Amino acid sequence: MFMKKVIVGISGGVDSAVAALLLKKTGYDVEGLFMRNWDSMLNNDTLGNPNFQENICPQEQDYNDALKTCEILGIKLHRVDFIKEYWDYVFTYFLEELKKGRTPNPDLLCNKFIKFDLFKKEAKRLGADLIATGHYAKVKDNTLYKAKDQNKDQTYFLADITKDQLKDVLFPLGDLTKPEVRKIALENNLNVATKKDSTGICFIGERHYQEFIKNYLKPNPGPIINVSTGEVIGTHTGLMNYTIGQRRNVGLSGDTERHYVCGKNVEKNILYVEIGSDEYLYSDACTLDNLNIMRELPKNLTAKFRYRGEEVPIIIESITESEIKIKYPSKAKSVTPGQACVFYDKDECLGCGFIKDVYKDGQKLWYLC
């Protein structure tokens, strides 16, 4: 009997390890492929810094963990470098968006250009009939659906891949919860069963964000202005260091009230903050560009504006091949230029667009880029 060959993206974490285990137990011919997407030596903070304590770079540790996992599973592990491609397609975009004062999400670009494009092509070159990853999502008939574990569902990060990219893709963890995945790993004595999940932006890792970014973008301090009064109330360290909705580490002292970052003006290098109220964070409409729509959008649908954000009912006001304007009458908080707006029809993910302009009561929010 012919066994289909599946190449699994093995990251050195528990999710991809259990994905490979389940596929092997199902009867597939399984091999692993580890992707190296970032050169840690590009991080200037690791070079010539006497305070940098790291015996082995995290990515090499992940590779060693992946090797051990594949040894336990009795499968072959391949390795491929996509460092240049990641720089060209993901990291350069990340920096350019920061320069514009926007808030990019590199995970969506990594999935689109690296994991479900270059990785898939490399897997096919190695003879794969199918590819698999440890994402929490479901795919059926080239259609993307939410995972059983709503807390871990990753369709938000997968929304920019196309239906064609979903061909020959398996998500073995789609019907499992994270605790179930941990339990399976422990029961099968996998070396990564209790390994901590990676968090944050992959190429930054555990490093301090501002220290990392200043290696690539020169800090440009400027005024912090109270958006409601126009008063200069402080000095920011560079607009790329702040996100819309941020409440901590804004850099203002001597005031006990909470501060909310609610806008940026790149041309004037201004950071807008509201004190004691989040009123300026709410909006009720936005325009989207750089669209990836997997099928015709229905009349009744919902959207998420950030991974951990609330899913809200939306109305499509206008739509063209290049831009969509939507309304969300119940209002949403911290809708941010550069972030993805992901569409859902119940559990089906319909694709996404990237937030361009944000509106409230029919007026464009002047304090957002």
Q: Which residues are catalytic?
A: 110, 202
Tokens of 361: 């009561």
Give the sign of the dihedral formed by CA 251, CA 256, CA 261, CA 262.
negative
Which tokens hold the place of 183? 């339990």
Which residue, chain included where needed, has tokens 């569409």?
343
Cβ atoms 332, 283 nearer than 8 A: yes
Reported as half-sphere exposure (CB side, CA atoms, 13 A), residue 285 has a value of 16
What whole-number distance in Å separates Cα of residue 28 and Cα of residue 2?
9
37: nearest Cα among 104, 76, 75, 94:
94
Q: Which of 356, 336, 361 is nearest to 261 (CA)?
A: 336
- Cα R_g (the chain), whole angstroms: 22
Provide the pairing of β-strand 138-140 with 143-145.
antiparallel
Token pair of 131 as six digits: 């590819």
- How far apart CA 207 and CA 298 sit, in angstroms, is 42
What 8-state DSSP symbol labels residue 117?
A: I
Structure tokens at 13: 């974490």
Question: Is 106 in contact with 114 (CB distance < 8 Å)?
Answer: no
Give CA–CA dist 214/161, Å, rounded: 31
CA distance 323 to 129: 36
Distance separating alpha carbons of residues 287 and 326, to the nearest angstrom: 6
